[in-house]
Every structure is written in C-alpha cells, then in structure tokens.
Amino acid sequence: MRILFLGTPDFAIKALDKLVSEGYDVVGVVTQPDKRRNRGEVSFSPVKEYAVNSDIRVYQYNSIRKEGVEDIKAINPDVMITCAFGQIISQEILDIPKYGVLNIHASLLPKYRGSSPIQWCLINGEKITGVTIMKTALAVDSGDILLQKQLDILPDENAGQLFDRLAVLGGEAIVEALKLIESGNAVFAPQDESKATHYPMISKEDGLIDWNLSAEDIFNKMRGFTPWPSVYTYLDGKLFKILNCKVVDIDMPIQLPVGGVYATKNCAYVKCGKDVLQLLQVQLEGKKAMDISSFLAGGKLKSETVLGK
C-alpha cells in the first residue's frame, strides 16, 4: 500500500514513525513550508526533519490545493494520511487516492472539532479523550469515522503530557485502521451532527486568568495552556505566569477580594470566585521560572497582594 503522509508538528511524528516501523511504503510526506528565523536561519517542520533523516521524499506547498494536485496524481498513492497538517485539502485531491484520505484527530469526534482539541478537553475538565480515524471530508473534522481509541485523562495531566500519549495512540490507531482497509473489513460510520462541538485555536491572549472563575476552572485552564502559551495574571503591573498550581480546600485566615493572596513563608494561596488555588510554580516577566517557595523568598509576593490588572 503506497502511503502519502501529510503532517507538520511533533504530534504527527509518532504516527509517521509507526507506519515506517510497521513496514508500510511511505512514498512521501507533505508538510508546511520551511520558516525563516532570525538571522536568516531556515527552520524545518518536525515532520520534514524526520523525513529527511529517514530518506523519505518531502513535498512542500504554500497551498496544496493550488500547487500539489499534479504531484499527488503522479505519486498515485493508495491512501493519504493527514495528521495536524495545517492546510485545507480540496475535493480534487481527496478523490485521488484509491482508499481516500484518512485523518488522525486527537479527540473522540464529533466532540472537539477544530485545531486545539487536546487543550480544550483539559480546559473543560474532561475525564476521557482519545483519537479518531476518519475519512477526510471538506467540512472540518466532519468525515465518517472508521475507528476510535480512548484513554483516561490523568488528574494532574497537562496538554504537553496528554499530547505525547495521544500521539502514540494515534500511531497505533492508524495502523489498526490500515489493517481493516487491507483486509476488506473497514466500516465507516457517519458522525452524529447533533453532538458536534467546535472549538477555536487558542492564542496567548486567551491565557489571561479571570480570578472570578472557580479554582477548578482556573486549574483546568492552566493544564490546557501548559506548556504553551501558559496562563497568566499581573503582579504589580508585570506579567505573572502561573506554571503550576492546585485546588485546595482551606479557609483563608484573612479577608481578601477575588484575586487576593495569602502568603506564608513557603506557600501562596489565591482567592478565586469559588474555592482557593495554591500556586506551585510561577514566572514573573523578565525572570526565570521558580518554585513558589523560592519566589516568595524574593519578597515580591506578600499577603493581601491582589493579582490582576
């Protein structure tokens, strides 16, 4: 089976590597164009780096719909596999492979359609997630489902950690899907549109903490925004990242407004709209990340400080 793989970030590498290690004929990869960094340095996508090191031919287009059709027809893949590719594919391209285009999506569709499903499932406090192998359609993440594999989300897991586990699961799922196709046992089922949820790409600005939210909501947002772009507030006018925290059940010994801090020698607690958040690791603008006890030793956070603008 001739496979053309389309992907760009680290998340896609586990699936690509699984295909290669299982002996599938990956005839090429399509990935986003190289980026030019400071001082003119050129940066490859993680998928391109893997392909170059594995002697797999690389194709790159500013727009695959406008520039890639003839190449893909010439490659004549049996199936195309997309995983966090980052471009929309035209119907003309979808019609080229014998077995169509399969997509690896990091959620249990139809929930969490969109480009940031891992982050949003954590922000919303989900307990279970997984990956979906579906046939790509023109509407975003709307194609018929071939199979799904799920996993339990760990209580303190952040997006980076969940990202790694789902990437491995995605590799296992796509191999299982290809075996179903090869054996003639593949059955595709339409998604239930009534249960579909759509979420946008997250941005740095979305990381601003609203202390009126519950401590649990803020904790879940921290999980979803770690390692990027981090949640943040303001301390004395400077951006103040909360890199790790936890919800605690304590009674504050002093009266505080929402966003108010109670600090001891080694611990710092913030009053939220509901319950209390204990800060564990922080980073003040222009400074390095620090555990809270080390940060408190610097005297920049005291009881009755109110975080936020």
pLDDT digits (tens, 9 = 90+) for 149-167: 999 999 999 999 999 999 9
The whole-model pTM stands at: 0.94
- pLDDT of 40: 73
- pLDDT of 179: 98
Question: How does pLDDT run across 8-40, given as a tens digit for each residue?
Answer: 999 999 999 999 999 999 999 999 999 887 777
* CA 5, chain centre distance (Å): 19
Before 257, cis peptide (omega within 30)? no
- Sign of the CA dihedral with 133 first, then 137, 139, and 143 last: negative
DSSP element (H, E) containing 67: helix 64-67
Joined together, the tokens standing for residue 50 give 């893997």
76, 47 Cβ separation under 8 angstroms: no
- Alpha-carbon gap, residue 71 to 51, rounded angstroms: 18
Mean pLDDT of the region 119-128: 98
Does pLDDT of 141 surpass 80? Answer: yes
Residue at token pair 């709209």: 273
Mean pLDDT of the region 108-117: 96
202, 229 Cβ separation under 8 angstroms: yes
- Alpha-carbon gap, residue 116 to 108, rounded angstroms: 13
3-class secondary-structure state, position 281: strand
